[in-house]
Amino acid sequence: MKEITVQELHEMMQNKVDFQLIDVREEYEFDAANIGGELIPLATVIDQAERISRNKPVIIHCRSGARSAAAVRELETRYGFDNLANLKGGILAWAKDIDPTIQVS
């Protein structure tokens, strides 16, 4: 499974790279703090796979990287996606290394 760091994601954002950011956390987590991704909770990600692009890079993230890694593995196995990457460390790493103003618990 491909992984990217929060620094790499931040660079992609700054350079306006065309990619899709998917947040697989729960709605209450997303409402409390998010980094601009599209919310597709882990429990629904397989049923909503058609919302995920196959034509550009897709970065999937969660709080720490565990749920998003599970989502990446399942989407690659079940649907043959080959353009997915897990955000290493998730939003916790983002808050620590990129934007300390994000409040995550």
pLDDT tens figures, 28-46: 999 999 999 999 999 999 9
* 8 A C-beta contact, residue 9 and residue 24: no
Q: How far is CA 43 from CA 7, 16, 24, 87, in A?
A: 28, 30, 8, 18
Q: How far apart are CA 58 and CA 11, in angstroms?
A: 15
- Answer yes or no: is pLDDT of 5 > 80: yes
In the structure, what pLDDT confidence band is assigned to residue 18 with cuts at 50, 70 and 90?
very high
The CATH number of 3-97 is: 3.40.250.10
Helix axes 6-14, 90-97, angle to 10 degrees: 70
User: pLDDT at position 10, please?
Assistant: 98
- Residue pointed to by tokens 């950011």: 21
User: pLDDT at position 19, please?
Assistant: 98
Of 54, 57, 84, 52, which is closest to residue 68 (Cα–Cα)? 84
- Answer yes or no: is pLDDT of 103 > 90: no
User: pLDDT at position 54, please?
Assistant: 97
The average confidence (pLDDT) of the chain is 97
Q: How far apart are CA 86 and CA 9, in angstroms?
A: 10
